[in-house]
Amino acid sequence: MNLCFLAFLLLCYAKQGWTEDAIEPEDGADPLIPLIPLVPSKPISDLKSTLDPTITEALTVSPDGLEADPSTPVPSPGPKEGSSEEDLDSLCDGDMTSQEIKRTIGNGILKLGLWFLENLKPSPEQPNVIISPLSLSVALSQLALGATNETEELLLHHLHADALPCYHTALSSLLRNFRKRSLSIASRIYLKTGFKVKQDFVEDSHKLYDSEPATLTDVNDINEWVKKVTNGHISEFLSSLPLSAVMMLINAMHYKGEWLTRFDPHFTSTELFYIDENQIVNVDMMLGPKYPLSVFPHHELDAQVARFPFKGDKSLLVIMPTSGHVNVSAIAAKLNISDLYRRLPRERNMQVKLPKFKLDFNQDLQEAMTNMGLGMLFSHPKLDRISEGRLFVSSVQHMSSIEINEEGAKAAAATSVVISRSNPSFTVNQPFFFALMDDLSQTPFFLGVISNPNPGASIVVTNPGNSDKIDNDKPHSFDVPPK
């Protein structure tokens, strides 16, 4: 399985002088920001010298690089230094253990992701919605480092950071733990020449979120960094710089997982996927004749829940409503992830069918964030810890890609496998909600709703009410083991 995500956060300085010097997109086109499929690596720094931690002045980006500026910085919130996961409970005031702190962070990230899913609508061009709540949380948390007053309170509220007195330290510790366990995260702050950014913000971003500063001279500099980070896979990240851009915060994530129990590609075949009662589409359906699966009926969600484990304590959770329609609001209102993990039964061998697909999602998040109550960020936020003067967020672009296949599967002798219809079975052939989870912290890396795993294929419209011709595999009644 291969999943790649990019969260793109762009802040614009509202001073009139910057708009005169800004580079406008050609022909009024939106800037092209393709997906970055990162290889596991640390962020790459092109700076000739590293930041001196003893510097307390603000920074100015000049044609020669980063320089000190004598303006006094606004005090930065929270501890600057990161922490190891062992001392989280000692650094965070209160009676919570490190495990409780990590799961509190994870639950907050899940809630943020569900909020976004509720406000992101599919379209005929993009029938599937896929996001990375972890990537979005990191980007918004970094923005919160530079916020003050009601803007900081608003961001921390939406990040569900209220329950933790050491939110940034706890999230930083969690991210370092993820990096040690196959998740790749890269961040950078691009600063336009002449834009004065405060030293505390740069230092805190680097220490907590491993985000390094670089001079924003032209689009080629960004493309060159992206090319290095992706080992040459992406050579053109931006076609032009957006109007008025003085600072760009970029966060990109990549995860490549290996099934704990692999699918044999020899068993993959073309089968039907039921988009709704009247529409079907052909998909490549993977088959595990005797797949060890944990699955149970979740009556509150009116759905079947299954857990597909990956190596390294990661899981793909699939929630498939029996109605055939995914209601994200209903899931968000009733989903308790800790309770769900507790209710998962022991794995049992059964016949499992899961669609093979590769999907992309790309959307500007301004409308969704405004509907969520974050509209202030795009008009009059207080970002005084970033720079003197008026800043506002001009665009939040989120791009994602997910691929599920038999990659790495070892071929098994077909003669050694007996497929019996008397065995329990679980077939994913109708719309479903998914979450790629870190099992230890119960943090969602990615969330999504898959309504059509093969959007490029022709959709067949069936006769309404002709339910007697529905395929026997249509999962109205699941043959699964009791809880």
Phi, psi of 378 (to 5 degrees): -95, 0
Neighbours of 188 (CB within 10 A): 23
Q: How confident is the model at residue 228 (pLDDT cuts 50, 70, 90)?
A: low
How far is residue 50 CA from its own chain's centroid? 29
- The H-or-E segment that residue 169 falls in is helix 167-179
Residue 476: pLDDT over 60 = no
Strand 303-310 and strand 391-404: the pairing is unpaired
Instruction: Give the 3-state secondary structure of residue 413.
Output: coil
The arithmetic mean of pLDDT across residues 181-209, rounded, is 86
Residue whose C-alpha is closest to residue 287's, from 388, 187, 355, 235:
355
Q: What is the pLDDT of residue 70?
A: 35
Model pTM?
A: 0.80
- Give the residue, 226 or 318, on which the prediction is more confident: 318
Question: Tokens 């530079």 belong to which residue?
Answer: 146
In a 10 Å sphere around its CB, with 0-12 CB exposed, 13-18 middle and 19+ buried, how is residue 237 labelled? buried
Q: Which residue has the higher pLDDT, 187 or 86?
A: 187
- Tell me: the pLDDT tens digits for 35-61? 222 222 233 233 333 343 332 233 333
**Per-position DSSP letters for 139-158, written without gaps between them:** HHHHHHHT--HHHHHHHHHH
What pLDDT, on a 0 to 100 scale, did the predictor assign at position 464? 61
Q: Could you give the CA distance from residue 299 to residue 297 in angstroms, rounded to a whole number? A: 6
Identify the structural domains of the chain with CATH numbers, from first to last: 2-257+360-402 (3.30.497.10), 265-356+410-469 (2.30.39.10)
- The structure tokens listed for 143 are 């923005």
pLDDT reading at 351 higher than 90:
yes
Read off the pLDDT band of 337 (50, 70, 90). Answer: very high
Give dist(CA 226, CA 237) in Å, integer: 7
Is residue 459 predicted with pLDDT exceeding 90?
yes
Backbone φ and ψ of 399, nearest 5°: -130, 140
d(CA 310, CA 312): 6
Strands 58-62 and 425-427: unpaired
